[in-house]
Structure 1
Amino acid sequence: MTTAEYENHLQILREELVCALGCTEPIAVALAASLAAAALGELPQRLEVRCSGNIIKNVKSVTVPNSGGLRGIEAAATLGAVGGRPDAALEVLQSVRPEHIGKVVSLLGQEGFCNVELAEDVPNLYVRVVAHASGHDGVACIEERHTNVCELTRDGVATTVAGISACPSPASAAADAGSAADRSAISLASVWEFARELDLADVDELISRQIELNQTISNEGLTGRWGANIGSTLLASRPNDISCKARASAAAGSDARMSGCPLPVMICCGSGNQGITCSQPVLEYAHELWAGHEELVRAVVLSDLTAVHVKYFIGELSAFCGAVSASCGAGAGICYLRGGSFAQYEATIVNTLANVGGIVCDGAKPSCAAKICAAVDAAILGCDMALADDNFLAGDGLVGKNAEETIRSMGYVGRVGMHPTDVEILNIMIGKTDVSGS
């Protein structure tokens, strides 16, 4: 691996592993609103919010953190405008205080304060907020990635807020918007080589932080009452089974996060649920196998980068559940800890995709935890199969002649084939399609 290739893998990790408070879609809305309000320079008298269908889908049913239990785009945008810190990126709502929540409730009670519209013919991840007051407008637009600010103006003139200025991104949905790394340049072979040969000092602090944050919210999900309590319910059924513990640990983090737990997580692939899924099952297996710290770090690096590689071909948001991509990573890390070879690592990914590829995403909500359970279970089975050399073969559905071809096939299905499904899911969720049969 050349120095440039090594640095590219490191840069991908630095860009992907970002601390976030709450589900990243409502947080992106809150961040855009906070930036728009800051550009305006005063408390908005009115907000206009335009979002892609995938943003609407992923904000509709999830609790906004530090909101007192509020849900929805109007709540996220108003809270961001009133109490958000625009320079805090995906932790924009960490600064919210009780008086901010009271103000938000009051504003939401005013008819017409926050108007939300569906934006069409835009990237899958798109939020544009216009904040109005005193005859002036502040505008902020985020697209492609959750922190990629492509427009930031006051009265139509480009401006800077807390050191942040707009960085217009390419129109291509596959572009690494706002990124210095080239995700198209990595492969399963390069990820395997990087994870095995990296200098631990280059990633130790970052990966240790991922493990620490995600373990904390997982423990909260297991001990508290959050969402549908998938993690704690699962663990109670078989508390000493490692497969069960791995699934429960990941699900519990999602239980808490989807229901507004105000604990930060380390995201991966733009998602806290995916960041948790990449780290927690691997951590449980490391404990079970008495793996040392260095082996754990290498396994989590393998998990994170594998998930990034699989997700790259699907896109940031789609109808393809991101837990599947993350579970491929978790299966990869578990395979590494169990002594698997490169061929068995590849087979683990193929076996996982052949099983649960195509789980639909119908928005961020408590049932995400159950989908994580199913996906991680498939990854563990995929690893068991690979280590026994019992694998799905080319021609079995979308399984290609090798792992890379299988990843691309599944990516095409998620990005292109499932696009009409994505539209219909949104139409049902917003009441545009009547499925009552009457």
Structure 2
Amino acid sequence: MNFTVKDILQMEVTLALGCTEPVAVALGTAAAASILPEKQFDSIEVLVDPNIYKNGMAVTIPNSGGLAGINTAAALGACGCDPLLGLELFESLNEESVQQARDLLKAKAVTVKVREERGLYIAARIVSGNSMAECTIVDLHNNIVSLKLDGNEVTDSPLIATLPENAGKNKLAELEEWLRQLSLNDLYDLVDELDEEDLAFLQEGVEHNLRLAEYGLKHGSGLGIGKGIDRLLKQKLLVNDMATSARRLTSAAADARMSGAKLPAMSSAGSGNHGLTAILPIWAIKDFIDTDEETVLKAIGLSHIITGYVKAHTGRLSAVCGCSVAAGAGATAGIAYLVGGDANHIAGAIKNILEDLAGVICDGAKAGCAIKLNTAAGAAVQAALFSLQGINVKDTDGIIGTSPESTIRNMGTLSHEGMSAADKTILQIMIDKEKNRA
């Protein structure tokens, strides 16, 4: 089956309020709660895959008064979230629902378990009196594949009917299979398919992610890296060049998002932080070169395409930091395009950044992600500029292949096979830390 650039944007680029893993857990419990006749809950049980658990442990949940955790997301989803809002459902929280969730957590009515199998998976079960509701989400953060009430399948729920047309498992699998078969030149040519509607959508993504960056710069949220860079610039300890500008904007947005700012991010390939990395470094450098807005938006379109292409090889969630290797590759491709590079320069830029950042691990979503986005943004600029100067890593180096396509396939092998034990180790370290704090 052949897809278009519109299909990529529709399936891979969407708004999300808060980190997408706790959002997805809340969506599961909110959907289950929506079909219960009573809204007083005796117990909430959630079973998640290891990476959903890892990415939901420490990140602050928007609109929650600073709360965090998978169990918290589950309670909040059931108590006060409208599942029809999809990945923006935390918008519907209020003080009453947050307090109800706190009460459930205090009563230890919420349990979270981790299943052994990898692959995005959330199963929520809520007991209310004599009734029990269940919801299952697989493959995509908003892909509800089953709703049950007292063991009976609910088939007329709008939550299933209103999912994006192409959001099901088969469509996503088909898209990723199609992407994996394309060459870099094929991906490059997709940019020419972007029409005015696509460019307007890409501009919307810029505006959303810029609001997060502006919030982070103003408030010094999270680790305050973006605002810290501003101070270093004023002290003349940093120079405002392309790389610094990209790092400043991208890390400030991550500061805001990871601290629970009530602002949605335009995500890419299932991750809000991927969206920040895929968009903001490109937007940040536009003022340093002679270009026009349409070219900038096309560069961002290319960034989303490459990000989705890499994620089709590495998987939606893994032990490898996708902001570094997937969105970082997208960003450097977009930057190379924006500064006048051709397909060969883009290929070199991608190989450069993968040689640089292939070993960056994902140890969950948290405030510290802003440091990694800071690194990825700066490396994306550097990798692109190096490539335009003829500086490209050789295919004799490590995991680098003879082409960007083979390099990305190698990255996928590393992610799926080489890092599986590392992923388990990372998760166990995080679980042990949580137990020690309890």
Q: Give the TM-score, by structure 1 length.
A: 0.92
Which runs of 5 or more structure 1 residues have no equivalent in the other structure?
Answer: 169-174
1:84 is matched with which residue? 81
Matched-pair contact (CA < 8 Å) for 1:278–1:330: yes
1:139 is matched with which residue? 134
Change (3 A) 1:383 1:260: same
Q: 2:196 aligns with which of 195, 201, 204?
A: 201
Matched-pair contact (CA < 8 Å) for 2:274–2:322: yes
2: CA distance, partners of 1:94 / 1:177: 30
Q: 1:116 aligns with which of 104, 109, 112?
A: 112
Alignment partner of 1:429 is 2:430: yes
SS across alignment from 1:164 = helix
1: CA distance, partners of 2:73 / 2:367: 18
SS across alignment from 1:165 = helix
Change (3 A) 1:176 1:134: closer
Matched-pair contact (CA < 8 Å) for 2:5–2:194: no
1: CA distance, partners of 2:100 / 2:152: 29
| AA in 1 matched with 2:352 | N
Alignment partner of 1:130 is 2:125: yes
1: CA distance, partners of 2:290 / 2:47: 50
1:171 is matched with which residue? none
1:266 is matched with which residue? 266
SS across alignment from 2:122 = strand
Q: Offset at 1:286?
A: 1.8
1: CA distance, partners of 2:211 / 2:177: 33
Which runs of 5 or more structure 2 residues have no equivalent in the other structure?
Answer: 233-237
Q: Offset at 1:199?
A: 4.2
Residues 395-437 of structure 1: CA distance to partner in whole angstroms, max 9, x if unpaired?
Answer: 10111111100000011101221011000111111118999xx
- Show the 5 A alignment for 1:263-342: 263-324=263-324, 325-342=326-343
1: CA distance, partners of 2:173 / 2:85: 20
2:235 is matched with which residue? none
Q: Offset at 1:17?
A: 1.1
Matched-pair contact (CA < 8 Å) for 2:243–2:382: no
2:358 is matched with which residue? 357
Matched-pair contact (CA < 8 Å) for 1:239–1:245: no
Matched-pair contact (CA < 8 Å) for 1:269–1:308: yes
| AA in 2 matched with 1:155 | D
1: CA distance, partners of 2:26 / 2:50: 17
1:172 is matched with which residue? none
Matched-pair contact (CA < 8 Å) for 1:8–1:182: no
Residues 220-266 of structure 1: CA distance to partner in whole angstroms, max 9, x if unpaired?
Answer: 11111211111221243236222101111111111111111110111
- Show the 5 A alignment for 1:359-438: 359-431=360-432
Matched-pair contact (CA < 8 Å) for 1:39–1:160: no
SS across alignment from 2:148 = strand
| AA in 1 matched with 2:274 | Q
Q: Offset at 1:177?
A: 5.0
1: CA distance, partners of 2:398 / 2:261: 40
Alignment partner of 1:60 is 2:53: no
- Show the 5 A alignment for 1:101-250: 101-111=98-108, 113-121=109-117, 123-160=118-155, 163-165=158-160, 176-177=169-170, 179=172, 182-186=175-179, 187=182, 188-195=184-191, 197-237=192-232, 238=238, 240-250=240-250
Matched-pair contact (CA < 8 Å) for 1:55–1:124: no
Matched-pair contact (CA < 8 Å) for 1:17–1:206: no
1: CA distance, partners of 2:161 / 2:318: 25
Residues 90-128 of structure 1: CA distance to partner in whole angstroms, max 9, x if unpaired?
Answer: 0111111121112211221113x111111122x432111
2: CA distance, partners of 1:161 / 1:40: 14
Give the stretch that moved more between structures: 93-102 or 331-340: 93-102
2: CA distance, partners of 1:377 / 1:224: 22
- How many matched pairs? 422
Alignment partner of 1:11 is 2:7: yes
Alignment partner of 1:29 is 2:25: yes
2: CA distance, partners of 1:290 / 1:129: 52
2: CA distance, partners of 1:118 / 1:41: 28
| AA in 2 matched with 1:326 | A
SS across alignment from 2:132 = strand
Q: Offset at 1:42?
A: 2.4
SS across alignment from 2:140 = coil
2: CA distance, partners of 1:36 / 1:104: 15
Residues 11-49 of structure 1: CA distance to partner in whole angstroms, max 9, x if unpaired?
Answer: 011111111100000000000010011122322221011
Aligned residues with identical type, % of pairs? 35
Q: Offset at 1:167?
A: 11
Matched-pair contact (CA < 8 Å) for 1:138–1:155: yes
2: CA distance, partners of 1:163 / 1:424: 40
Residues 184-233 of structure 1: CA distance to partner in whole angstroms, max 9, x if unpaired?
Answer: 223322221111x2243240221011001001111111111211111221
Change (3 A) 1:75 1:184: same
SS across alignment from 1:263 = coil
Change (3 A) 1:245 1:99: same
More helix by share: 2
Q: Give the TM-score, by structure 2 length.
A: 0.92
| AA in 1 matched with 2:419 | M
Q: Offset at 1:279?
A: 0.6
Change (3 A) 1:19 1:167: closer
